[in-house]
Amino acid sequence: MQVTFLAREVVDDLCRALGVASPDYSALRRNVLISGIDLNSLIGETFSIGEAVFEGVEECKPCYWMDQAVAPGAHAFLEGRGGLRCRILTGGSLRCGEADLQVVVSPEKTFPALRQQGREVTEVNDRLAGERALQIVVNGQPYSMTMQTPGAERYLVRGLLHAEGAGGGGLRSLVQSERADATVVEVEVDPSDVPGGARRLVSTSSCGLCGKESVEGVFREIAPVRKDVRTDARRLHLVHTGMRQKQSTFAGTGGTHAAAVASADGEILCVFEDIGRHNAVDKAVGFLLEKGLLARADVLAVSGRVSFEIVQKCARAGIPVLTAVSAPSTLAVESAERWNITLAGFCREDRATFYSGLGRVERGKQNSHG
């Protein structure tokens, strides 16, 4: 069963162009009028409206009978803007009025990996949390960008603007679209809800990319890391042990992250702490640059999880191995693979799980496990 979504804005333009006061909507059959969304952005996407779930299949070619249903010339007018043909995945009721359209994006992906404990290596498939860039545009101007787990972007943006004192009661429209590298949410609010006309968010301690105004420049090309070193769970354990021994602020407060840089054999070059893990990484790289030690950097270790911005900083520094106590995100793994970084998560004691750059991993006895 299929249905076609047609932009209300296109129908309004059609009526004006052909001098039609109002079309006979009953003649539109399975066409559903919708406004405030770029229909072409939904091709290949799964999305929901209320309890109904649809899959965007293709741009719809207008039918000749539109000349009879609406007015002569309607068929030609709709060429190239005939709407979105969709497959109905889950049935439900559609009602006239404001609706909440949500793109259904799975926040998880499965990645093949090598899980190493001691000298034993097992092939596994790990599920990782999703990460994607979210660009926010307010009244036609770039407002801010953040990294987020895909899903419920509409609510995230409304809540964020409310917290910042923007768009609390004067939200006029909200349009979401998907690009290859980011989700973009464009909102229109009363000018009085945006202090100075275009308030910008400051960077926060939880995300090194928060506060940037647009996607452009964030996903710039970075040369793959060509440095060849050898690593395994045992070597990474040495680095993490050395990092923990130097986390004096964390030992006293329990409230900081750490970043350590080491040589491939486990020699600690520096350790820095900060309320934000990305700040700790910047401190470590800055220290190495100032002291002329960056060429000796083989391993970057961080406390907690690994997200995209940490991988980006590691690649910029040309460090071949990135290791973390907790899990990486989906975008972290994809970026590490792209930039030829050996990324390891869950590095605890003599255990580690390697997700990318596996050519640098020394393997012992290997098993297979799904």
Just list the catalytic residues: 207
Distance CA 10, CA 29 (A): 17
Intra-chain end-to-end CA distance of the chain, in Å: 36
Nearest 10 degrees: CA dihedral of 361, 353, 220, 45?
Answer: 130
β-pairing verdict for 171-178 and 141-148? unpaired
Structural contact between residues 337 and 358, judged by C-beta atoms closer than 8 angstroms: no
SS3 172: strand
Distance CA 178, CA 103 (A): 9
Nearest 10 degrees: CA dihedral of 303, 304, 309, 314?
Answer: 30
Closest CA to 189 of 201, 205, 175, 179: 175
Closest CA to 100 of 171, 46, 51, 163: 51
Closest CA to 326 of 355, 306, 343: 306
β-pairing verdict for 52-59 and 84-90? antiparallel
Name the helix (H) or strand (E) containing 36.
none
Distance CA 42, CA 55 (A): 8
